Amino acid sequence: MNPSSPALLRIDALSFAYPDQPPLVSGWNASIGPGVTLLYGDTGTGKSALLQVIAGMLPASSGRLAVAGATLDTAPEAYRRQVFFVDPVTDRFDQLTARECTASLAEGDAGFNEAKWQAIAEGFSLAPHLDKKMFMLSTGSKRKVWMAAGLASGRPLVLLDEPTAGLDMPSTRCLWSTLSGFDGQQGRAVIVASAARIDTVPLAATIELPLA
Ligand SMILES: Nc1ncnc2c1ncn2[C@@H]1O[C@H](COP(=O)(O)OP(=O)(O)OP(=O)(O)O)[C@@H](O)[C@H]1O
């Protein structure tokens, strides 16, 4: 991380293991600053698990997480309000239309950028799907709905798990150009978990797994 950049996410002595499994991370310290950070690792190294721990959805075994001054263990609601994350296998939006799902993800997000969302929705060719219920959409289209909301989010920390999975080429280009716009934008950090290196977007940092 650039030493002059403020840390948006502070990770102190973080450990996590699934029950009866070796730790995926042990005593990990990191500071994530503005821009795009790549969480890079082969399949099974723990990218999805770590994103869920950072999102506050999966409890760490020990350690401390803080985003923009809100600490997960002492102020969990405030912490979660600072973070955008959608579990790629969730079915919790199934009965909402894509538009309602977006509104739900933007709730309480004063910095949500409607114009940016419109541009991304166009880049992702989402128009024909916006009034369909989420359960009717393909996996790829559902992911686009969540990702458009995340990329337009005003929350300080956005977590994207394998964002190119199931994405067509024009949408991938829209994703890369939107992520490139985070370069040098103070106050916003995006962590992209991927089993592939990214050379199309300026990266603030790369974290390589396995960490334990
Ligand atoms: N609920 C669970 N209980 C126990 N072990 C799990 C659970 N979910 C995942 N694992 C194991 O934890 C390890 C890390 O999984 P995780 O999905 O976080 O890796 P990943 O790097 O995201 O991999 P992929 O790119 O394949 O999604 C793997 O060995 C996986 O089999």
Which tens digits make up the pLDDT trace of 154-192? 999 999 999 999 899 999 999 999 999 998 778 899 999
Least confident residue range of 40-44, 61-65, 185-189, 205-209: 185-189
User: Which atom of ligand 1 has the smallest separation from the CA of 193?
Assistant: 22
- CATH number assigned to the domain with residue range 9-208, chosen from the 4 options 3.80.30.20, 3.30.360.10, 3.40.50.300, 2.60.120.10: 3.40.50.300
pLDDT at 3 over 70: no
pLDDT at 2 over 60: no
Q: Which residue, judged by its Cα, is nearest atom 31 of ligand 1? A: 44
SS3 content of the chain, % helix, strand, coil (to 5): 30, 25, 45
DSSP strand E in 17-69: where? Answer: 25-32, 35-40, 62-67
pLDDT at 10 over 70: yes
**Boundaries of every domain in the chain:** 9-208
User: Which atom of ligand 1 has the smallest separation from the CA of 19?
Assistant: 4
With a Cβ cut-off of 6 Å, ligand 1 is lined by: 18, 21, 24, 41, 43-49, 195
At residue 4 the predicted structure's pLDDT band, cuts being 50, 70 and 90, is: low
What would the mean pLDDT of 130-154 be, rounded to a whole number? 97
**Greater model confidence, 141 or 2:** 141
How far apart, in whole angstroms, are the C-alpha atoms of residue 175 and residue 169? Answer: 10
User: Which atom of ligand 1 has the smallest separation from the CA of 41?
Assistant: 21
Q: Which residue, judged by its Cα, is nearest atom 16 of ligand 1? A: 46
pLDDT at 5 over 70: no
The pLDDT assigned to 184 comes to 75
At residue 212 the predicted structure's pLDDT band, cuts being 50, 70 and 90, is: low
**Considering the entire predicted model, what is its pTM?**
0.96
How far apart, in whole angstroms, are the C-alpha atoms of residue 7 and residue 168? Answer: 33
Tell me the ipTM for this assembly: 0.96
**Ligand 1 centroid from CA 204, angstroms:** 26
